[in-house]
Chains A and B, each alone.
Chain A
Amino acid sequence: MADNSYIYADARIHVHESTMLNAAFMEQLLSAPDEAACLKLLQEHGWGAPGMAAEAMLEGETAKTWELIAELVPDLSVFDVFRYESDYHNLKAAVKEACTAGKHPGIYLHDGTVEPEKLEESLTARDFDALPEEMREPARHALDTLLQTRDGQLCDCIVDRAALTAIRSAGERSGSELLALYGEITAAVGDLKIAVRALATGKERDFMELSLAPCATLDAGRLADAATDSMESLAAYLSSTRYAGAAEELKKSSTALECWCDNYMIEQIRPQLHNVFGLDPLAAYILGRRMEIRSVRIILTGKRNEMADAEIRGRVRMTYV
């Protein structure tokens, strides 16, 4: 049965999809001689305003996406799953702020679901009940760990695991097939990146157990076993999962793996280009725009730092349209 709740919104989003950057435009950006030429091309496409700095332009595009979605969806909390990343980043920052003397301005992101000031107050006062339910235990655990061990990395692992778990649960709860898939892939890819980093730095299995979030498409136990063994074991395990494509990228570099993870997400959301019912096309548009902005940021940064075109091209993500 078709979901009739978002017919108007889906139709508007499908019109907006036709203004998204496609692979040909990305090639044009890559062929541009420098950052200024890229910015000019983007301005001609409707991004930012003349003379606008790169970062302001990218922030403006992110804001434009959310303004459009806010206009179309009466209750934005259905997309909280996309904002948890910022929440848990802020939680990490607040835990560290609570354990160190003085204030550190500019450490918080302001696009989460919880006000950073509220997070900071709760952690300073150790009032964990004031936090959202899913954040209480990780916040307490991370704060205690940092106070007792002064191990910032361990504290980050606790919060990162909680973030992946929260994103996956929120996706499942949303009732949207795409958001559930997003939650699952985010958790799995997060685990995969943790495993690769742990292998590279020679971490123990205990550390892996503490860091890996549960997910349905990867077996945390087997992943931890493989990651404590060797890169070949990790690649062999991944080859037996739906993330087999990542096994090849593992051998290249961590950048190639990051790129593969984002491209995998894009491949999974692309069918929504032809879906005209429900919340999923809207969620896919948000993700598509996020990837598009990420790719433009990579190109602009590459051009600014005079990186070779081939090197930049290798990092640019697949486009949604």
Chain B
Amino acid sequence: MENMGIFFALLGASCSALMSGIGSALGVGKAGQAASGVVTEDPSKFSKVLILQLLPGTQGIYGLLIAFITLTQIGLMGGGSSDLSLTKGLLYFAACMPMAFVGLISAIAQANASISSIALVAKKPDQFGKAMIFPAMVETYAILALLISILSVFGISSLSI
């Protein structure tokens, strides 16, 4: 049982990278299909649809960031002590969950919004600025989750439990 702390902390870090990564991969893939459809018909729209395709990719980066910070805090990266109590390990696990779940779901939701925006740009290229805003709104919630996970992970390290 004395090693379960590090296990849960690592599980949290993995989930953060894994679930956000899955969400982003699905999202970028779906948006990529729509982008390919538009570029097939009108190659001049490549740069515009590429930006919209990449929007759901940020969640994967956020998940990776949380995983890196957690690994650093628990001493698995950059050296230091890896002696972690079960309670602290569970706390790290809980801290990673906002990014894991919100990352997965928001990336898929953002992809749907991106696909709609790609269709908008396909018909009205001059509305690109507005088209960007709709999927970008979904990003807000991924950023909120990222903030909570970062603050929690840093906060746990200062606890003496």
Contacts and interface: CB of A to CB of B under 8 A. Distances in A.
A9 B35 CA distance: 11
Nearest to A14: B119
B103 to A, nearest CB: 19
A262 interface: no
A86 B118 CA distance: 36
B84 interface: no
B64 interface: no
Interface residues of A toward B: which range? 10 to 19
A14 B122 CA distance: 7
A7 interface: yes
A276 interface: yes
B41 interface: yes
Contacts of B123: 14-15, 17-18
A11 B36 contact: yes
Contacts of A2: 112
Given A4-B30, A7-B30, A15 B37 contact: yes
A277 B38 CA distance: 14
A277 B116 CA distance: 9
Contacts of A18: 122-123
A17 B122 CA distance: 10
A66 interface: no
Nearest to B31: A7
Interface string B32-54: 01111110111000000000000
A25 interface: no
Contacts of A16: 41
B99 interface: no
A4 B111 CA distance: 11
A15 B122 contact: yes
Interface of B: 30, 33-38, 40-42, 112, 115-116, 118-119, 122-123
Interface of A: 2, 4, 7-12, 14-18, 274, 276-277
Given A10-B34, A10-B119, A12-B41, 4 more contacts: A9-B37, A11-B115, A14-B37, A14-B123
For the complex of A and B, 3 pairs with smallest distance between CB atoms: A11-B37, A15-B41, A7-B33
